[in-house]
């Protein structure tokens, strides 16, 4: 069966397939379009499945390809094998050193592969190895926290605020630039600021949500030297307020992989909601 390159004109067909094969994820057309078509990459599909791929630089500077989406009928291991083979060939042809299922490229639909996913079993049989495991946590939408004295928490709205956030992100967290730009465009970026007597107002932190998936927290960061003051929880509280208004029960932190992050979200009343594995195949071996 020939696997064809799918263009964005087939977004409705793709979403319809996902509603059958992954009903619990409740993916919207906007979310799927953002992850699969609104950035460099490719989508391949046939009558039995679809795979979406992207390629970019990882934190270590290496060129890495990522499987953004792998959709098959339940327990169709044969199709999953075939689509992974297509993905591996595509990644190798573009000079990728490895292929990740669940990677760090912007706008992912999942931070990794569900721990109980049949795709995980298929990939491991092809030589993929576990790179990282972590849990997603849900913070109740009732969580609130007051900012420390002298710190203002507000949504970035005005042109001046958008420029201030963009400059702060470029200086402190350049890897977040694309995602923060989308949050600013959608009005889902909160900023923490403090007035310095000499230099004026400066951005101390950002808290964004629903950039790729509704309810997802991130990008989220506080500048070094101002952490552990309560700024992060104040930003998180504003995100929870947004999601309560939108009638979502939780703010989901999709990747909790470090003890410090887990302690931060647990202190806000968070509970684990999903377990993920990030698995990789070395394409140079």
Domains of the chain listed by start with CATH number? 4-133+276-282 (3.40.630.30), 142-248 (3.40.630.30)
CB-side neighbour CA atoms (13 Å) of 245: 7
Instruction: Give per-10-residue mean pLDDT for the chain (285 aa).
Output: 80 92 90 89 92 85 89 90 95 92 79 89 94 94 97 98 98 94 97 91 97 95 95 98 98 95 98 94 85
Helix (H) or strand (E) holding 112: none
Q: 77-93 vs 118-125: helix axis angle to the nearest 10?
A: 60
- Contact predicate 243/236, CB 8 Å: no
In three-state secondary structure terms, 42 is strand
Q: What is the pLDDT of residue 2?
A: 59
For residue 171, give every residue at least 6 positions away whose Cβ sits within 8 Å of its Cβ, in sequence order, or none.
Answer: none
As beta bridge partners, residue 99 has 65, 281
H helices present in the chain, as ranges:
11-21, 29-36, 77-93, 118-125, 159-172, 177-186, 231-245, 259-266
As beta bridge partners, residue 38 has none
What percentage of the chain's residues is helix, strand, coil (to nearest 5)? 35, 30, 35
CA distance linking residue 238 with residue 208, whole number of Å = 10
Q: What is the pLDDT of residue 1?
A: 46
- Contact predicate 179/218, CB 8 Å: yes
Of 32, 82, 88, the residue nearest 65 (C-alpha): 88
Q: What is the pLDDT of residue 107?
A: 82
CA distance linking residue 256 with residue 264, whole number of Å = 10
């Amino acid at each position: 069966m020939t696997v064809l390159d799918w263009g964005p004109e087939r977004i409705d067909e793709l979403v319809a397939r996902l509603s059958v094969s992954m009903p619990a994820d409740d993916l919207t057309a906007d979310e799927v379009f953002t992850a699969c078509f609104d950035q460099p990459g490719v989508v391949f599909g046939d009558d039995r499945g679809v795979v979406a791929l992207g390629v970019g630089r990882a934190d270590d500077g290496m060129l890495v390809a990522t499987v953004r989406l792998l959709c098959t009928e339940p327990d169709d291991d044969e199709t999953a094998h075939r689509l992974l083979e297509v993905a591996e060939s595509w990644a190798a042809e573009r000079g990728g050193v490895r292929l990740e299922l669940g990677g760090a490229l912007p706008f992912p639909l999942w931070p990794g592969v569900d721990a109980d996913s049949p795709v995980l079993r298929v990939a491991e049989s092809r030589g993929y190895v576990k790179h990282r495991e972590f849990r997603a946590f849900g913070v109740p939408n009732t969580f609130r926290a007051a900012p420390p004295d002298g710190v203002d928490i507000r949504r970035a709205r005005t042109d001046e605020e958008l420029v201030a956030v963009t400059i702060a992100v470029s200086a402190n967290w350049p890897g977040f630039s694309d995602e923060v730009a989308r949050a600013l465009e959608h009005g889902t970026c909160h900023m923490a600021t403090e007035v310095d007597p000499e230099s004026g107002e400066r951005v101390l932190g950002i808290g964004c949500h629903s950039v790729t998936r509704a309810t997802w927290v991130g990008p989220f960061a506080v500048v070094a030297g101002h952490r552990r003051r309560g700024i992060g929880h104040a930003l998180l509280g504003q995100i929870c307020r947004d999601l309560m208004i939108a009638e979502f029960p939780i703010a989901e932190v999709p990747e909790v992989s470090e003890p410090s992050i887990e302690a931060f979200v647990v202190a806000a009343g968070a509970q684990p909601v999903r377990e993920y594995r990030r698995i990789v195949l070395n394409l140079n071996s």
